[in-house]
Structure 1
């Protein structure tokens, strides 16, 4: 990467599309199958959450941005941007472990009292690839 260049990692467009498709299926299933009010409300809340999550993915697609001076991480429901110089970054690593529902690989960025976790569906690349590129930017190699 050339000096002064900015690298961005963003949510692939297929991710919000998949969220919206599942939300619609869940909405239709809830309306047609729900046998009680509690089940119907739960289905509607989950469908709405998925739909809003898809909107966030479209409105704030860039989740991580880096350059020679530092990185910017987007977090929270409204897409709050936090800029950190490389000197403030304590650690960047790949967290790869087996979890209850299978294997999970996340990019972990540790900054002061903040800890960020970003997955492949938020980055549009594997966490290992992003960690390697961030290390290269940080060290200038």
Structure 2
């Protein structure tokens, strides 16, 4: 099995930085009170830092013959699991208010991971299909041995 990686597309941090810049300019020019200015600056800083994280740690999920690696936390700590430890991978789709949320849910040992389209660079359904194909080919190669 060839290793696969799913990563944050570069357009995501670019959009975060653009929104943070607009919010920063708007906060500095429009804010009329200290509370509004502080909130605006904190949100802009959070978006900017989130964009930095997306560039520094772009890979969120990796699959190879040994198993899956999920990169979590603000510094992208790698958690690796063998295929045998993975209990379930599915697409979790929910309707909320006027929108819909679609996430890839990975249930492994005592952990539960949710990854969205903008973290994976592909739809959760596409990633699930790739992972199922990888698992099938891995199982087939194990049987051939």
TM-score normalised by length of structure 1: 0.94
1:103 maps to which of 96, 100, 105: 100
CA RMSD of aligned residues (A): 1.0
Equivalence for 1:39:
36
Count residues with an aligned counterpart: 138
Which structure is larger by alpha-carbon Rg, 1 or 2?
Answer: 2
Equivalence for 1:56:
53
Distance in 2, Cα, partners of 1:97 & 1:55? 29
Equivalence for 1:130:
127
2:117 maps to which of 116, 120, 131: 120
Equivalence for 2:16:
19
Distance in 2, Cα, partners of 1:10 & 1:78? 15
Q: CA deviation at 1:47?
A: 0.3
Distance in 2, Cα, partners of 1:139 & 1:114? 23
Instruction: Flag the structure with higher helix content.
Output: 2
Compared with structure 1, are the counterparts of its residues 58 and 101 closer, same or farther at alpha carbon in structure 2 (3 Å cutoff)? Answer: farther
Unaligned runs of 5+ residues in structure 1 are none
Write out the 4+ residue segments of structure 1 that deviate beyond 2 Å after TM superposition: none
Distance in 2, Cα, partners of 1:114 & 1:32? 45
Deviation digits for residues 20-53 of structure 1 (CA, Å, limit 9, x no counterpart): 0000000001111111111110000000000000
Compared with structure 1, are the counterparts of its residues 101 and 39 closer, same or farther at alpha carbon in structure 2 (3 Å cutoff)? Answer: farther
Distance in 1, Cα, partners of 2:86 & 2:98? 30
Unaligned runs of 5+ residues in structure 2 are 141-145
Distance in 1, Cα, partners of 2:62 & 2:82? 12
